[in-house]
Homo-oligomer: A and B are copies of this chain.
Amino acid sequence: MSRFIEKLTPVEEALQLLKLHVEPVKEWGDVPVWEANGHVLARDIHAPHDWPPQAKAAYDGYAVRSVDTPGRLAVVGKAEIGSREVPRIGPGEAAYVTTGSFLPDGADTVVPEEYVDEEDGYIIVKDKFEPGMYIDAAGSLVRKGQLLARKGTVLTIEDMAGLAEVAITEVPVYRSLRVAIISMGNELIRPGTPKDTALKVLEGSVIATTGSVIEQFLVDYTPWVEVIDTALLPDSKDTVAWYVERVLPLVDIVLLTGGTGPSRIDMFYQLQESLGGELLFRGLYVIGGKPTSAYIVDGKPIIGLSGYPISALHATIRLVYPLLIYMGNVKRPSPPLPIVRATITDSVKPKRPRPIKVRVEIRNGKYYASPLGKEYQKSSANIGFVLGDGLALTSDRDLEPGDEVDVFLYRAPRGYRHLGLPLK
C-alpha cells in the first residue's frame, strides 16, 4: 500500500463499504424497563393485557351511579389508590376516589370534588353526570395485543414512564455496542495541574482532547454505545498494534485518533500491515478527511480519525454516527442530534464537504450561520470552537449568502428565545 492517498472516498460510499463488512449486533436480552433508557428495542412490544385492567377514576372526587345525579348521596367508603379492593356502592351512595384508584363496584361515573358540597357524611351533586365521565374504562388506553413500540426504537425516559404505567416491566433490548477510543501521538499529554499543564502546552505539548470530544459526542448522542476504553499511546506502530490486539476482543469498534495522515511518521497504513485485515478505504472525500480510514480485522471496523478535534468530530458526525446506528440496529434514534437548517450569511467555497465553524443567531425563529474568519477555519484552530456556536456541514457545492446549510449546534444560538420568551 502506498504511503500517499490515491483517491478520497465519498462518505456515502465509505458507509456502504463499512455496512458490507460489519454485522449489526445480534445479542439481546430482557432488562427491567427502568434500566432500559438509551437501549435499543430488539423486538416489537405488544401490550400483554388491557389497560387499565378495570375501570379507574381519572379525577379526585366521588364515584357515583350516574342515574343518582343530581342528588344527595351518602358517602359509604373510599377507594385507596394502590389497592384493587374497592367499596361497593348502591343506589343513593357515593365513595371517595382519587385519580388512578380503581372505580368502586356499582359506580359508572366520577364527580370531581370541586363540583360537590360536602356535609356530614353526605355529598350534594347539583349537576347531571353522564356514565363514563372522569373515568378510564377497562382497556380504554391499551388493548391486549396492541403494538406499542417497534424494534429499533432507542428507549427514552418518557418511554420508561409510559411502559411502567401499563405494567410492562421488562423489555427486550440489544446489548450495547462497545467502543475503544485510542488517541495516538508523541506530542500528546494528559493534563496535570493547570499551571504545569499550561507551561507544557506553551512549550509545544498538546493536551489529548480529540478523544474526549469524540467520547462526549457518543455519550450525548449514542446512548446505545458504551465507551469502554480511552487509551493514550505514542506514535509507535508496535505499541499501537500490541494494544489494538488486546482491546479488539472486548469491543465492536476501535476508533483511532491521530497518526493517520499521509506523512512520514504516520502509521495507520503500517498498522494494517501488522494487524492484517482488509482495508476498506483510506481518505474520506471531506476537507480534513485524508486521515479518515477504515479497515476490518476479525469482522470489526478499525476506524482512523484525524488527530484534530474538528476533523475527528466531523468524521464522527458524518460517518461514525450512521455506522453506530447501523451496528446498533437503531431505527429511531434518541436523543435527536442538534442539527438545524440555517441560512448562511457569507459565501463559502468548500471544495469538498466541510465543517465550517460558525456563529449562529436566531431571528424571527430562523437560524442564521455566519462563518468565522479564515484563520479560525483551519483544522488546527480549535479556538474557533470557543468563538463559534456550531459547525456548518456543507456539501462540496459553493454556497451563496441566503443558501441553506445543516448546522450542528453545540450551544443554543444567540438570540435564542425559549418558547417565545427571551432568556435573561
* Chain A residues with a Cβ under 8 A of chain B: 4, 11-12, 15, 30, 32-34, 37, 49, 51, 53, 58, 60-61, 80-84, 96, 98-102, 113-114, 136, 140-142, 148-149, 153-154, 156-170, 185-187, 189, 191, 193-195, 197-198, 201-207, 209-210, 212-213, 216-217, 220, 261-266, 309, 313, 317-318, 321-322, 325, 330-341, 365, 375-376, 378, 380-387, 389, 393, 395, 406, 409-414, 416, 418-421, 423-424
A136 to B83, CA, bound (A): 73
Q: Give Cα A424–Cα B19 distance, bound, in whole angstroms.
A: 10
Contacts of A217 in B (CB 8 A): 157
Q: How many copies does the complex hold?
A: 2
Bound Cα distance A49, B158 (Å) = 48
Bound-state Cα–Cα, A411 to B216, Å: 19
Which among A12, A341, A386, A421 has the highest number of chain B CB atoms within 10 Å? A386
Interchain residue pairs with CB less than 8 A apart (20): A30-B194, A32-B191, A51-B383, A60-B262, A60-B265, A82-B186, A82-B203, A100-B187, A141-B381, A158-B385, A161-B309, A162-B385, A167-B201, A322-B421, A322-B423, A332-B414, A334-B411, A336-B338, A336-B409, A395-B420
A206 to B101, CA, bound (A): 10
Name which residue of chain B comes closest to A209, CB basis: B161
| CB-nearest residue of chain B to A136 | B380
Min C-beta distance of A173 to chain B, whole Å: 13
Q: Are B114 and A159 in contact (CB under 8 A)?
A: no
Residues on the B chain within 8 Å of A102, using CB: 204
For residue A330, which residues in chain B have a CB less than 8 angstroms away from its CB? 423
Give the complex CA separation of A169 and B203 in angstroms. 14
A247 vs chain B, min Cβ distance (A): 23
**Complex A-B, nearest 8 residue pairs according to Cβ-Cβ distance, in ascending order:** A60-B263, A334-B411, A162-B386, A169-B194, A158-B385, A82-B187, A81-B187, A167-B201
Assuming the contacts A167-B201, A261-B60, A264-B113, asked whether A385 and B159 have C-beta atoms less than 8 A apart, the reply is yes
| A138 → chain B closest CB, angstroms | 12
- Of B60, B338, B341, B382, which contacts A264 at CB under 8 A? B60
Contacts of A331 in B (CB 8 A): 423-424
Query: Assuming the A-B contacts A114-B4, A335-B338, A336-B413, are A383 and B142 also in contact, with contact meaning beta carbons closer than 8 angstroms in the complex?
Result: yes
Contact (Cβ within 8 A) A32 B81: no
What is the CA–CA distance of A114 and B283 in the complex, to the nearest angstrom? 15
Known contacts A83-B204, A332-B411, A412-B337; A210 and B161 CB within 8 A of each other? yes
Contact assessment for A201 and B153 in the assembled complex, using a CB-CB cutoff below 8 Å = no
- Evaluate contact between B202 and A82: CB separation under 8 angstroms: no
Is there an interface contact between A410 and B51, defined as CB atoms closer than 8 Å? no
Known A30-B194, A157-B212, A325-B418; further 10 A-B contacts with Cβ < 8 A: A82-B187, A100-B206, A156-B385, A158-B213, A162-B383, A164-B209, A166-B201, A166-B382, A331-B424, A335-B338
Cβ–Cβ < 8 Å partners of A384 in chain B: 162
Q: Are A336 and B114 neighbours in the complex by a CB distance under 8 Å?
A: no
Partner of A169, one of B197, B341, B409: B197
Give chain B residues whose Cβ lies under 8 Å from the Cβ of A83.
203-204
Q: How far is the CB of A135 from chain B (nearest CB, A)?
A: 11
Least CB distance from A267 to B in Å reads 13
A47 to chain B, nearest CB (A): 9
Which residues of the other chain, B, contact A385 by a CB distance below 8 angstroms? Answer: 156, 158-159, 161-162
Chain B: which residue is nearest A96 at the CB level?
B264
Interface centre among A33, A49, A189, A336 (most CB of B within 10 A): A336
When distances are taken between beta carbons in the complex, the residues of chain B under 8 Å from A337 are 412, 418
Per a CB cutoff under 8 Å, which of B100, B212, B380 touches A160?
A: B212
Could you say which residues of chain B place their CB within 8 Å of the CB of A410? 156-158, 334-335
Once A212-B157, A330-B423, A381-B141 are accepted as A-B contacts, the answer to whether A169 and B322 lie under 8 Å apart by CB is no
Residues on B with beta carbons closer than 8 Å to the beta carbon of A33: 194
